[in-house]
Amino acid sequence: MERVKTGIPGLDEIMNGGVPKGQLVLLSGTCGTGKTTICGQYVYQGLTKFGENGIFLSFEDMPDNVKKNLKRFGWDFEPFEKQNRFDFVRYDPYHIEEVFDILESNVREIKARRIVIDSVSALGLHVRDKAELRRMIFNLSNLLRKLDCTVIMVSEIVPGSAGISRYGVEEFVTDSVVVLYYERNEFTFTRAMQVWKMSGSDHSKKLHPYKITNKGIVVQPGEEAFMRRK
Ligand SMILES: Nc1ncnc2c1ncn2[C@@H]1O[C@H](COP(=O)(O)OP(=O)(O)OP(=O)(O)O)[C@@H](O)[C@H]1O
Ligand SMILES: [Mg+2]
């Protein structure tokens, strides 16, 4: 099985070598768990280490804001934008059907191999009907599969909820799922992640601690985190 290395220290190890090429990965977690950082790191590593072009699609945050935050980790996307190897697409989720065409032509133009979507949770702000929303996420995932890229799709979990995604549908339309946790252990907060599922491949089943450092995310593949389960 061909793998796409995220280039995120430790993450490829717990994914048995990386994301299976062409897969759609759900990355979910509560706020502040590092979802946007992982997205930026994945695309930046693609550009700088693996010669893979990328697209960052945002339904909420403004490009300048996200780019400014990611630059603090030392990831400057601007030169790659100028070379037409990277594009930051901010799209209003109000006209979601149009984003399909835009994304498709962007992928073609940039020759993107990596796409990140941050995040599908924002779609719910514009679409109240649950069935409609699920259909939308389903359509989006179908489109992404056709684009022949390896994709990370973010979903934000509401704190305290028992689910692993916002709308309870994202984990069924994606091939792999990585869940990020941020929980209190008596006196300290622990960050940990787990590969929840991975289509057609083995992976670590453990809960692994990770850190957000000034150089980005670092996962500890040899360590196991212990958390109070709800
Ligand atoms: N330079 C840095 N060094 C260390 N930690 C940092 C740095 N920058 C950000 N962080 C940590 O990363 C967290 C935010 O990460 P990020 O924005 O990727 O999370 P997120 O899951 O996307 O959040 P949200 O749900 O708000 O979108 C901050 O709360 C902070 O703890
Ligand atoms: Mg974010």
What is the CATH T-level fold of the domain 24-183, as seen in this structure? Rossmann fold (3.40.50)
Q: What is the pLDDT of residue 6?
A: 98
Ligand nearest to the CA of 71: 1
d(CA 218, CA 211) in angstroms, rounded, equals: 5
- Ligand 1 pocket, mutate which of 27, 37, 119 (most atoms under 8 A from CB): 37
**81, exposed or middle or buried, with CB in 10 Å at 0-12, 13-18, 19+?**
middle
Question: Which residue is closest in CA terms to ligand 1's atom 15?
Answer: 34
Confidence of residue 42 (pLDDT cuts 50, 70, 90): very high
Distance from residue 213's CA to the centre of ligand 1 (Å)? 10
Q: What is the pLDDT of residue 165?
A: 95
Distance from residue 182's CA to the centre of ligand 1 (Å)? 12
Question: Which residue is closest in CA terms to ligand 1's atom 4?
Answer: 213
Question: Which residue is closest in CA terms to ligand 1's atom 16?
Answer: 34
- Percent of the chain past pLDDT 90, that is, above it, reads 77
Ligand nearest to the CA of 58: 2
- Percent of the chain past pLDDT 70, that is, above it, reads 99
Using one digit for the tens of pLDDT, what is the confidence trace for 74-115? 999 999 999 999 999 998 877 777 888 889 999 999 999 999
Ligand nearest to the CA of 74: 1
Contacts of residue 8, Cβ cutoff 8 Å, sequence gap at least 6: 38, 41, 42, 45, 216, 217, 218, 219
Residue with tokens 């693996």: 50
Q: What is the pLDDT of residue 72?
A: 98
Residue extents of the structural domains in the chain: 24-183
Separation of CA 124 from chain center:
18
Pocket of ligand 1 (CB under 6 A): 29, 31-37, 72-73, 156, 212-214
Distance from residue 206's CA to the centre of ligand 2 (Å)? 24
Q: Do the Cβ atoms of 224 and 192 come closer than 8 Å?
A: no
Q: For the chain, state the CA radius of gyration.
A: 17
Distance from residue 207's CA to the centre of ligand 2 (Å)? 21
Q: What is the pLDDT of residue 130?
A: 84
Instruction: Count H helices and E strands in the chain, helices first.
Output: 7, 11
Phi then psi for residue 205, to 5 deg, are -100, 0
Neighbours of 218 (CB within 10 A): 14
Using one digit for the tens of pLDDT, what is the confidence trace for 149-179? 999 999 999 998 999 999 999 999 999 999 9
Supply the pTM of this predicted model. Answer: 0.96
